[in-house]
Amino acid sequence: AESEISIDPVIKKYFISLTPPSLSDMESDFSRIRSTLIREHNIKVYSIDIDVLKKMPQVLRRSGWRVTVTVREGEIILTEEGDKTSRAYGIAVDLGTTKIAFLLVDLFTGENIGKKGVMNPQISFGEDVMSRINFAMQDEENAGKMQKVVIDQINKSIEELAIENNVALEEILELTLVGNTAMHHLFLGLPSRQLGLSPFVALTDQPVEVKARDLGLFISRGAYAYLMPVIAGFVGSDHLAMILASDISEGKGNILGIDIGTNTEIVLKTKKGMYSVSTASGPAFEGAHIRYGMRAAPGAIERVVIDPETCIPRIQTIGDKKPVGICGSGILDAVAQLLKAKIINSRGKFQPDSGCLCIDDKGAYQFLLDPDDHTGQLCPCAEGKVAINQKDIVEIQLAKSAIRTGINVLLENAGIDFSEIDRIIIAGAFGSYIDPKNIVDIGMFPDISLKKIFQVGNAAAVGAKMVLVSDALRKKAEEIAANVNYLELTVFPSFSDHFAKSTLFPEPDPLKIK
């Protein structure tokens, strides 16, 4: 857990006072620093960043030979005038397909100094991972375009965080980044073609350390970007970060960890080991491909309750604004409530005899979500009003079926029943807003006690922070990555059968309907 992180970053800072050179003491500046660090702090350094070396003569002589030296695993990556040992910052980045989350962290206290979330600008090249990989495959320059827009956005967000929190860019000494395998490869400028072709293998599954400046990142010139290992072609370091932050690898019993997003990664930990799958749940939970879908913003419907007697919905919008659309948690609520009120059946089909529907200008059924607009009785729909249509329900069926299929295959592979699961961890920004009961009601999970479900928010960003401030946790994450076994869903003979059955909704239990 984040609160239990033992602070031990790879970044160390030392304040030293040097004896100036003379004709009787002509040791080089670098050797003088090295010998002083050994003598005063028992620290050995073996190399120095070339940019730091170029600036070092002025720093030493302007400061009167009293400097702070920043060391990273035997390399000097910064020299500063005077005592700056208390100022050391890092950036943890969760590079999602849809959104990018940032944490500005004090490396020596572990305190979150600032945070920010922005849209991933790569979305203009494709909403999901495969469309971006396909775009990269069309032209050699396309991957570079996607890398540039995301690097530019990361630089912009880091600069804004730094200004807001009175931190100099030169004081940001390390960046850690997690993301799915495609985001990881595109960020680094690595070829991604093999991710889009069977058997969908990653270029590397090892941790990557690279000078931040070599990627075009504007933080301290000698700083590094550290990227946690990816697990497979479609299971990235964001999933590894979630496993680390949720302590799944050390947990007792059978634990299911699910990071819900455009690509949903699922891990099952049993006494036999850890197994992971990736499911293409699609962007419906982000509001995409939904007629009135939108991202979580003011005016988005986020909660829905439908009176089964009158069909009248009660809604809650973000910021209590007039409804202008519906976001992921609201869509999930709406579908669960439509099922409970028997306005849709187990196949997801609207039931005209419910008397709760209106008809749009193309003769298709809809359910109006704003109680002020509600007419029901198959009247013409009020034009432009926020509603759920048949296609929206199908999108949710496909998304929830993908996730349920992943769970079923993991359980089948482990030889255990869902009832034997001791704990379910739901991660991801979307996962923290959904009502767990609705997940069970629509059949994304089999029927299970809600007490077993834990929502942990953006665990990937927390995991990125953990490896930013703790070298021991960095090593632990690398060990976990080596022990997670990836399963390719489509090679399982039961995959198609699981998927088809999982598109169905469970029949509502009358004993559970309040």
For residues 210 and 147, the answer to whether their CB atoms sit within 8 Å is: no
Q: Helix, strand, coil shares of the chain as percentages rounded to 5?
A: 40, 25, 35
434, part of any domain: no
Whether residues 99 and 201 fall in one domain = yes
Whether residues 193 and 294 fall in one domain = no
Indicate the pTM of the whole model: 0.91
For residues 42 and 27, the answer to whether their CB atoms sit within 8 Å is: no
240, part of any domain: no
Q: How far apart are CA 379 and CA 387, in angstroms?
A: 14
The pair of structure tokens assigned to 77 is: 């990556």
Whether residues 100 and 33 fall in one domain = no
Whether residues 42 and 107 fall in one domain = no
Q: How far apart are CA 404 and CA 88, in angstroms?
A: 44
Cβ neighbours of residue 499 closer than 8 Å, sequence gap 6 or more: 401, 402, 405
- The last residue of a domain, from among 395, 410, 443: 395
Amino acid (one-letter) located at 195: L
- SS3 readout for 26-80: CCCHHHHHHHHHHHHHCCCCCEECHHHHHHHHHHHHHCCCEEEEEEECCEEEEEE
Low-confidence stretches of the chain (pLDDT < 50) are 513-514
DSSP annotation of 397: H
For residues 86 and 173, the answer to whether their CB atoms sit within 8 Å is: no
Cβ burial of 514 (10 Å; 0-12, 13-18, 19+) is: exposed
Instruction: Give pLDDT, residue 462.
Output: 96
Amino acid (one-letter) located at 107: L
Whether residues 75 and 168 fall in one domain = no
- The last residue of a domain, from among 375, 395, 415: 395
32, part of any domain: yes
Q: How far apart are CA 328 and CA 99, in angstroms?
A: 14
- Among candidate residues 118, 119, 121, 116, the one with its CA nearest the CA of residue 105: 116
- Among candidate residues 264, 184, 258, 255, the one with its CA nearest the CA of residue 226: 184
100, part of any domain: yes
Helix (H), strand (E) counts: the chain = 12, 22
Instruction: Give pLDDT, residue 514.
Output: 45
Amino acid (one-letter) located at 359: I
513, part of any domain: no
132, part of any domain: yes
DSSP E strand stretches across 96-197: 99-106, 112-119, 172-179
Instruction: Give pLDDT, residue 512.
Output: 54
Instruction: Give pLDDT, residue 286.
Output: 77
Q: How far is CA 154 from the centre of its chain?
A: 15
Cβ burial of 371 (10 Å; 0-12, 13-18, 19+) is: middle
Whether residues 111 and 218 fall in one domain = yes
Whether residues 188 and 115 fall in one domain = yes
Whether residues 116 and 69 fall in one domain = no
Checking 3-6 for CB contacts under 8 A at 24+ apart, the result is 5/110, 5/465, 5/466, 5/469, 5/470, 5/473, 6/470, 6/472, 6/473
- The last residue of a domain, from among 349, 368, 395: 395
Whether residues 123 and 221 fall in one domain = yes
Could you report the per-residue pLDDT of 362-374, keeping only the tens digit for each?
889 999 998 776 6
For residues 116 and 165, the answer to whether their CB atoms sit within 8 Å is: no
- Among candidate residues 422, 423, 433, the one with its CA nearest the CA of residue 457: 433
CB atoms closer than 10 angstroms to residue 23: 5
Instruction: Give pLDDT, residue 247.
Output: 94
Q: What are phi and psi of 81, to 5 degrees?
A: -75, 135
The β-bridge partners of 484 are 274
Instruction: Give pLDDT, residue 377.
Output: 60
Instruction: Give pLDDT, residue 3.
Output: 54
Q: How far apart are CA 290 and CA 395, in angstroms?
A: 7
Whether residues 110 and 221 fall in one domain = yes
CATH number, domain of 75, equals: 3.10.20.880
For residues 327 and 301, the answer to whether their CB atoms sit within 8 Å is: yes
Instruction: Give pLDDT, residue 107.
Output: 98
- Token pair 């009961």: residue: 437
Q: How far apart are CA 331 and CA 348, in angstroms?
A: 14
Whether residues 386 and 310 fall in one domain = yes
- For the chain, the straight-line distance linking the first and the last C-alpha, in angstroms and rounded, comes to 36
Domain extent at residue 140: 89-227
- Among candidate residues 407, 393, 397, 394, the one with its CA nearest the CA of residue 446: 407
444, part of any domain: no
Structural domains counted in the chain:
3
Cβ neighbours of residue 395 closer than 8 Å, sequence gap 6 or more: 282, 284, 289, 290
CATH number, domain of 201, equals: 3.30.420.480
Whether residues 71 and 162 fall in one domain = no
346, part of any domain: yes
